[in-house]
Amino acid sequence: MNIEKPGRRRRTHQEEFKQAVVEACCEPGVSVSGIALANGVNANQVRRWVRERGFTPPCRREVLPTSAMPVFVPLTIQAEAKPLPDIHLELRRCDATVTIRWPLGAADECGT
């Protein structure tokens, strides 16, 4: 029995298709990998087509100029002297309700 191994064939693409893919890759904010995946082509092949035609795909990462970089501005916050809140306990049983308000500064005494 003689089994022949099928030969490996390279895919060929029309120049118009390549040019359309390269032009799509040069749009701002697009991903070369995404364009390649959408067109059924390997991303490395698309990057090669872009390089061969002398284009450089735009950088997806936006770099701010140093003048537009945010600057740290220290803020001073003055603490206001607010009274401490009270401990508020409300106990209910049937129709009876007992409410206890205790200063937070004396929380240990409230527990006893």
Residue with tokens 């390089």: 51
Inter-axis angle of helices 15-25 and 32-39, to 10 degrees?
150
* HSE toward the beta carbon, residue 23, CA cutoff 13 A: 6
The predicted model scores a pTM of 0.47
Domain chopping of the chain, boundaries: 15-58, 84-112
pLDDT score recorded for residue 103: 84
> From first to last of its 112 residues, what are the pLDDT tens digits of the chain?
677 777 777 888 999 999 999 988 888 778 889 999 999 999 999 999 988 988 776 665 555 566 666 677 777 777 776 777 788 888 888 888 988 888 887 878 877 7
